[in-house]
């Protein structure tokens, strides 16, 4: 078993840093620090926590160029998108600064008691297992509401973004949070089970693959620990026959290709009504072919590299298996180490990997539907349930289809995206629980009934 982590730049394969895993004794100290910090942190007034949240927002803004460059070096995100990710984290802080006190206020309920209400008490130490694709945003959307609710956090980040993980811990401490309030764990997968089973850890949240979610949920369930799982997605972009391509084609391209296609909520299956299919395919191909590939550190790069070479190889295999079954490549499909050229694949059927599986990279599968109704049925045909987007000019008619989409989100005339004001999460193999909004801050609290009799 490896006893260290070596990070590298996926664009030039240059080694960046080496980190040793925490020893069992170091982990014990970290866990004890977390519990001891919680005992004091939970007593703080919400206003005191939101004041620190303002410090956090200020530090993010002041150091966004530094944090962005760190992400770009470690996982290949184009630098302009890295900067945008940090700016979104600032927005997240601003949202909870404004709303946390209201969200966490006691809910008064009229009964025959003198007073009865729901008190929202923090659970304690929450473990977060997070992915590399949005290495700041994924962590912050857990940490900001959870810590503001009075919990403390432990982070097991993806190993290829270890410097980013440690920078996030430094960020919280620089903003004035008590040491022990947010700590990064340098551990391997075998150590995670022991950490979850530790009595100090009260809940677990994971953003990652379906197999990882099942594994974490099994351990947590055995130990009766609360979990929130945000897993994979195979989102459909449904293009009705009346869609306005002039207005929305850029959004459709971005929905698949931003972050070099490495997003759980990206549009992976483009299900297009037959009447508009040829027009869509021509326009879509033209726009995708214009995307600028290059060095992720260049400000005009839109498509960088995938985070690791093995991920690009896996995507290549999914495409090759689909073409073996009859799919056709009409653009792209060239790979050079971790770089994967933006690719469009057509003649896709429901038995192909690019329809059934999550494709985590810049590959768009295009499916022709005979009409709008069949397009909806194809969209719903997935083991995943993260989100669906529909493009149509007849928005009044869309209410007839809402119940036919069994996903966590339905976006009309826009790409599925996370927004601090709206709950985020999925159904089926995309997981359960919600992040963001009021629902997110209440995931890791004890909704305690308090009944005071006359």
The residues carrying an active-site annotation are 230
Three-state SS for 156? strand
Give dist(CA 215, CA 196) in Å, integer: 11
Element (H, E) at 16: strand 15-20
Element (H, E) at 124: none
Torsion angles phi and psi, residue 376, rounded to 5: -65, -40
Q: Do 366 and 281 touch, CB atoms closer than 8 A?
A: yes
Q: Give the residue from 159, 162, 123 showing the smallest Cα distance to 441.
A: 123
Q: Give the residue from 96, 179, 99 showing the smallest Cα distance to 143.
A: 96
Using only the alpha carbons of the chain, give its radius of gyration.
23
Three-state SS for 94? helix
Three-state SS for 453? coil
User: What is the C-alpha end-to-end distance of the chain, expressed in Å?
Assistant: 63
- Relative to beta strand 15-20, strand 410-412 is unpaired
- Relative to beta strand 182-184, strand 152-156 is parallel
Q: Do 342 and 288 touch, CB atoms closer than 8 A?
A: yes
48 CB neighbour count, 10 Å cutoff: 11
- Relative to beta strand 115-122, strand 107-108 is antiparallel
Interior/surface letters 217-231, b for 16+ CB within 10 angstroms, e for the rest: bebbeeeebbbbbbb
Q: Give the residue from 136, 46, 155 showing the smallest Cα distance to 85.
A: 136
Give dist(CA 262, CA 232) in Å, integer: 11
Q: Which strands sit side by side in the sheet containing 115-122, from one edge to the other?
A: 107-108, 115-122, 445-452
Q: Give the residue from 442, 441, 424, 444 showing the smallest Cα distance to 231.
A: 424
């Amino acid at each position: 078993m490896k006893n260290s982590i070596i990070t590298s730049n996926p664009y030039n394969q240059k080694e960046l840093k080496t980190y040793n895993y925490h020893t069992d004794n170091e982990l014990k100290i970290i866990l004890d620090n977390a519990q001891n910090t919680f005992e004091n942190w939970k007593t703080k007034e919400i206003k005191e926590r939101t004041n620190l949240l303002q410090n956090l927002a200020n530090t993010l803004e002041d150091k966004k160029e530094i944090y962005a460059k760190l992400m770009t070096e470690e996982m290949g995100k184009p630098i302009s998108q890295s900067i945008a990710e940090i700016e979104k984290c600032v927005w997240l802080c601003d949202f909870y600064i404004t709303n946390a006190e209201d969200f966490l206020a006691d809910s008064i309920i009229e009964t025959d008691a003198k007073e009865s209400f729901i008190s929202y008490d923090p659970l304690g130490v929450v473990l977060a297992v997070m992915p590399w694709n949005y290495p700041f945003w994924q962590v912050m959307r857990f940490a900001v509401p959870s810590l503001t609710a009075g919990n403390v956090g432990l982070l097991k980040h993806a190993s290829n973004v270890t410097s980013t993980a440690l920078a996030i811990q430094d960020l919280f401490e620089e903003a004035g949070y008590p040491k022990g309030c947010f700590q990064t764990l340098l551990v391997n997968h075998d150590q995670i089970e022991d950490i979850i089973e530790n009595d100090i850890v009260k809940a677990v949240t994971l953003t990652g693959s379906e197999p990882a979610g099942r594994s974490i949920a099994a351990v947590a369930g055995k130990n009766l620990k609360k979990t929130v799982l945000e897993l994979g997605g195979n989102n459909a972009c449904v293009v009705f026959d009346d869609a306005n391509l002039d207005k929305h084609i850029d959004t459709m391209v971005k929905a698949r290709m931003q972050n070099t296609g490495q997003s759980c909520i990206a549009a992976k299956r483009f299900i297009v009504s037959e009447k508009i299919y040829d027009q869509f395919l021509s326009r879509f191909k033209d726009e995708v072919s214009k995307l600028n590939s290059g060095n992720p550190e260049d400000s005009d790069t839109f498509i960088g590299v995938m985070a690791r070479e093995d991920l690009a190889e896996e995507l290549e295999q999914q495409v090759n298996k689909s073409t073996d079954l009859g799919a056709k490549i009409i653009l792209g499909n060239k790979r050079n180490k971790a770089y994967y050229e933006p690719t469009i694949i057509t003649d896709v059927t429901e038995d192909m990997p690019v329809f059934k599986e999550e494709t985590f990279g810049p590959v768009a599968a295009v499916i022709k539907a005979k009409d709008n109704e069949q397009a909806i049925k194809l969209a719903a045909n997935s083991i995943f349930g993260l989100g669906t987007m529909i493009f149509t000019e007849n928005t009044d008619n869309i209410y007839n289809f809402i119940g036919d989409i069994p996903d966590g989100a339905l976006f009309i005339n826009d790409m599925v995206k996370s927004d601090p004001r709206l709950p985020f999460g999925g159904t089926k193999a995309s997981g359960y629980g919600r992040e963001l909004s009021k629902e997110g801050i209440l995931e890791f609290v004890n909704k305690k009934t308090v009944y005071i009799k006359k």
